[in-house]
């Protein structure tokens, strides 16, 4: 973990949970987390709770970089959470409403339903989002993303080519 004034970088593939508090001064978060290695049914509920707590702990972040392993973890564990709990409870993380201006997903997006759902979640709920950067080769995927209603009318979607080392 690297903490500099206004910048927090967390790259960890071993720890199963993270507690982050008092991030009032953090402007940028660079996150590469897998939240442990277990992928069984018994751990799904626990992982969702851990991820929800982590998201609430980063409520003042303005810019977030999400690396491949974090995106895959969110993709694996949050699809049902995004579709059921958040829509049902209207419990959108505070950073999406009050501070998140930029998201850079550093993972190649192949256009799977759960990936689209996660991108949709950011676009529809981030009311001050200015820029969402994605990596995908599919024009069809990009056209699908461009049809998603936005919580922020100022949001620009940037499509970059996939990175070769992630293929």
Question: Cβ atoms within 10 A of the Cβ of 68, count?
Answer: 17
Per-residue pLDDT for 159 more than 80? yes
Any idea what the Cα angle at residue 74 is, between residues 100 and 76, rounded to 5°?
165
E strand or H helix that includes residue 72:
helix 68-80
Which pLDDT does position 2 carry in this prediction?
47
**CA distances in angstroms from 66 to 28, 29, 58, 84, 99, listed in the order given:** 11, 8, 13, 23, 16
Residue identified by tokens 């969110």 is: 74
Q: How far apart are CA 167 and CA 165, in angstroms?
A: 6
Tell me the pLDDT band of 88, cut-offs 50, 70 and 90: very low
pLDDT tens-digit profile of 35-66? 666 556 666 667 777 777 777 777 778 888 88
- Please compute, for residue 88, the number of CA atoms within 13 A of its CA located in the half-sphere on the CB side: 6
Q: Both tokens of residue 101?
A: 């201006």
Condensed to tens digits (0 to 9), the pLDDT of residues 137-155 reads: 777 788 888 899 999 999 9
How many Cβ atoms from other residues are within 10 Å of residue 106's Cβ? 19
What are the tens digits of pLDDT across the range 93-117? 666 667 889 999 988 888 787 788 8
pTM check: above 0.85: no
């Amino acid at each position: 973990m690297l903490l500099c004034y206004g910048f927090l970088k967390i790259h960890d593939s071993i720890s199963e949970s993270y507690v982050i508090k008092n991030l009032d001064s953090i402007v940028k978060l660079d996150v590469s987390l897998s939240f442990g290695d277990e992928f069984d049914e018994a751990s799904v509920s626990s992982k969702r709770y851990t991820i929800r707590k982590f998201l609430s702990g980063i409520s003042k972040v303005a810019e977030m970089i999400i690396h491949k392993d974090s995106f895959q973890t969110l993709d694996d564990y949050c699809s049902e959470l995004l579709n059921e709990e958040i829509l049902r409870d209207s419990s959108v993380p505070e950073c999406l409403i009050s501070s998140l201006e930029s998201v850079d997903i550093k993972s190649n997006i192949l256009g799977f339903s759960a990936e689209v759902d996660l991108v949709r979640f950011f676009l529809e709920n981030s009311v001050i989002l200015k820029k969402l950067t994605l990596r995908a080769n599919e024009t069809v995927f990009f056209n699908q993303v461009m049809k998603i209603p936005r919580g922020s009318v100022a949001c620009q979607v940037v499509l970059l080519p996939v990175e070769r080392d992630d293929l």
